[in-house]
Structure 1
Amino acid sequence: MSHTRKKTNVRGVAVFKENGIQGEVVLSNRKQGVYLVAVFTKLPPGPHGFHIHKAGDLRGEGCMGLCEHYDIGHHCHGGAPTSKKERHTGDLGNIAMKTGTRRVRKTYYIKGTSVADLLGRSIIVHEDEDDLGQGGFEDSKITGHSGKRIGCAVIGRTFRKK
């Protein structure tokens, strides 16, 4: 009896538990892409750049060693997945908790990839707001000028339904 599951049933999760950041991102396959649900119960005030990065190896430098944004093409940095403009595959835009709220929930749909493609990669919360590639700074078209990495989590496989 085989214990492998179909690629379409693979789900992923990234759990944040450091630097005053608590939350999780659950990933599931959908037709022609991945659906992400991000729920955070603790985030520092203000909007924060939010991206999937190419690597997931936290040894050594932790979040600082997780290289560039995940991209299945050769694109410049841009907005969230709903943006019609050029963007990295892993560009998720910004995430923020409104003052006085206990949590933030945000959903994303990323076309052209699968959960299996994202397993072992990382998701990073940055210190500053992502300028969506429009800021005119030297790093705007690369990182969105979103500042240092203040929280990260590796995307792992999960078999939980929720």
Structure 2
Amino acid sequence: MKKWMLFFGLVFAIVLGGCADTDDDMEETGHYSDPGIETAGNVSEDTDKVEVTMYNQEKEAVGSAIIRPVYRGVKVTLEASDLEPGTHGFHIHENGVCEAPDFKSAGGHFNPTDAKHGFDHPEGPHAGDLPNIEVDQEGNVFADAAAEMVTLDKGEENSLLKEGGTTLVIHSDADDYESQPSGDAGKRVACGVISD
């Protein structure tokens, strides 16, 4: 009987020791580590966020966006002012260049999978399609947008930090989520370069 008690006591001590190491990992890194489990959703070691300054057609700064990795894709937090009130299309574009006043240098929507535009299109959306934003009567907007099909991890086909970068663009009109190639969202009224 004493041998069994000694055996269970030893097993219990080993288990407690393992738990202590795990708690130490949690305190030091903010998450439990297990070399046998892929820790999907952790912040990239290279890039934990990207800050983007948004400029209008007169080359004046009108706001900023912060892009952070999340469990699936990235979260884009936009804060801007001096915009026309109403609903506006908001997209990630394929080139990291914002030449005013038309911002055509930003190219088309970021679309590494060659999909159709729009959340309502059966063959869409583009990886760079984002939900419309609502600008209040004072010309201000604060919005969070999820972009599940992109990443900040360099070297990936769908990375926003690809060679040459990408851009965030605000359009003059609402995106109808279906028309090709860009949702009939009108002119490009603000632009910001996404780069590391």
Do the structures match in fold with TM over 0.5?
Answer: yes
How far 1:104 moved relative to its partner?
Answer: 2.0
Q: What CA distance in whole angstroms lies between the structure 2 residues aligned with 1:47 and 1:72?
A: 27
Is the counterpart of residue 129 in structure 1 residue 174 in structure 2? yes
Total equivalences in the alignment: 143
Q: What CA distance in whole angstroms lies between the structure 1 residues aligned with 2:102 and 2:176?
A: 24
User: Contact 1:53–1:90 (CA<8 Å) still a contact in 2?
Assistant: yes
Tell me which amino acid in the other structure corresponds to 2:70.
R
Moved over 2 A (4+): 17-21, 57-62, 83-86
Tell me which amino acid in the other structure corresponds to 2:193.
V
Matched with 1:137 is none
Q: 2:103 is matched with which residue: 44, 47, 63?
A: 63
Q: 1:42 is matched with which residue: 76, 79, 82?
A: 82
Larger radius of gyration: 2
Stretches of structure 1 lacking an aligned partner (at least 5 in a row)? 134-139, 158-162
After superposition, the Cα gap between the structure-2 partners of 1:103 and 1:147, relative to the gap in structure 1 and judged at 3 Å, is: closer
After superposition, the Cα gap between the structure-2 partners of 1:15 and 1:31, relative to the gap in structure 1 and judged at 3 Å, is: same
Counterparts of 1:79-94 in structure 2, within 5 Å, are 79=119, 86-94=124-132
User: Contact 1:43–1:96 (CA<8 Å) still a contact in 2?
Assistant: no
Is the counterpart of residue 13 in structure 1 residue 51 in structure 2? yes
What SS does structure 2 have at the residue aligned with 1:118? coil
**Larger relative strand fraction:** 1
Stretches of structure 2 lacking an aligned partner (at least 5 in a row)? 1-43, 154-158
Matched with 2:143 is 106
Q: What CA distance in whole angstroms lies between the structure 1 residues aligned with 2:131 and 2:70?
A: 20
Higher relative contact order (CA 8 A, sep 6+): 1
User: Contact 1:21–1:43 (CA<8 Å) still a contact in 2?
Assistant: no
Q: TM-score, normalised by structure 2?
A: 0.63
* CA root-mean-square deviation: 2.7
Q: What CA distance in whole angstroms lies between the structure 2 residues aligned with 1:60 and 1:52?
A: 17
Q: TM-score, normalised by structure 1?
A: 0.75
Q: 1:118 is matched with which residue: 139, 150, 160?
A: 160
